[in-house]
Amino acid sequence: MRETAIRGYSDVDLFTVFPRQALKWGSGWISSDTFVRNIRNDLNERFPATDVRRDAQAIVVHFGGGSEPVDVVPAVFHAFKTEHRVPVFLIPDGRGGWLETAPAAHNNYIKAANAKSGGKLRKAIQLIKHWRNSRSPAIPLSSIHLELLLASSGICIGPKGYATCVFEVFDLLRSRECRGLRDPVGLAGTLHSARTEAQATRLIDAVEHAWMHAAKALLAEREKDWSEAFRQWSLVFNGEFPSR
């Protein structure tokens, strides 16, 4: 548990490990698209009265008439890595291929970085997720990319407020042009910021907009123009600027 979920936005994620045999097709492996489709079809048969949809890397099951969505992220064990035998899994990458992931190691890495920041990292991540979800549809920014990028950057360390942290997050994303991130833990591959090129383009545009207005908000704060600062932050968060 990374404790970075947003109440009212974040679904319940189930990281579900399947046997490697489920991927076998003759002498090779099926594509991750086929794997996700097979699981979706099986869940449709098991829950005929429930809305079951595919969402690139996961299957979204809308229990309770859609009010209680559950994201089922299918995975298979891949290998133990490092001398500590850290388990690494394969999950669908949303493009038909497979992505290595090490959830336990990533969670520990983010937890340690959050402690080093005095707890600011977790709250900064939540603010960026709130920004992501303030649009409809939500801005296509991968959670694990965001969390590992910020944990590895050290942005939230030191005597600075959340406004500065949030601006520096946008500045970092902008300067990197939202490129994929090499796993800072060194166990998985490249963690992409978005699933498709079209989504990456939309993300870059959204980051540019947020960066510009966050910069103006900080300038207004330095000049003690609180009304203008609030207006600029409201533009960043699409009228949903968190009041506390």
Q: What is the pLDDT of residues 86-144, one digit of tens each?
A: 888 988 887 788 888 888 899 999 999 999 999 999 999 999 999 998 998 889 998 88
Tell me the sheet residues that pair with 59: 54, 72
pTM across the whole model:
0.79
Identity (one letter) of the amino acid at 112?
A
Rg (CA), the chain: 19
Q: How confident is the model at residue 73 (pLDDT cuts 50, 70, 90)?
A: confident
Model confidence band, residue 190 (pLDDT cutoffs 50, 70, 90): confident
CA–CA gap between residue 79 and residue 57 (Å, rounded) = 20
Per-residue pLDDT, 56: 66
* Residues 6 or more apart in contact with residue 138 via CB below 8 angstroms: 132
CA distance 151 to 156: 8
pLDDT of residue 10: 46
Neighbours of 137 (CB within 10 A): 8
User: On the CB side of 172, how many CA atoms lie within 13 Å of its CA?
Assistant: 22
Distance set, CA 122 to CA 8, 118, 191 (Å): 17, 9, 19
Instruction: Judge whether residue 50 has pLDDT over 90.
Output: no
Q: Angle 162-176/143-153 helices, nearest 10 degrees?
A: 110
Distances in whole angstroms, Cα of residue 52 to Cα of each of 39, 57, 68, 69: 10, 14, 12, 9
| Count helices and strands in the chain by DSSP H and E runs | 7, 10
- Residue 47's pLDDT is 85
Nearest-angstrom CA–CA distance, 100 and 77: 10
Confidence check: pLDDT of 238 > 90: yes
C-beta atoms surrounding 48 within 10 Å: 8
As a whole-number percent, the residues of the chain with pLDDT over 70 amount to 90
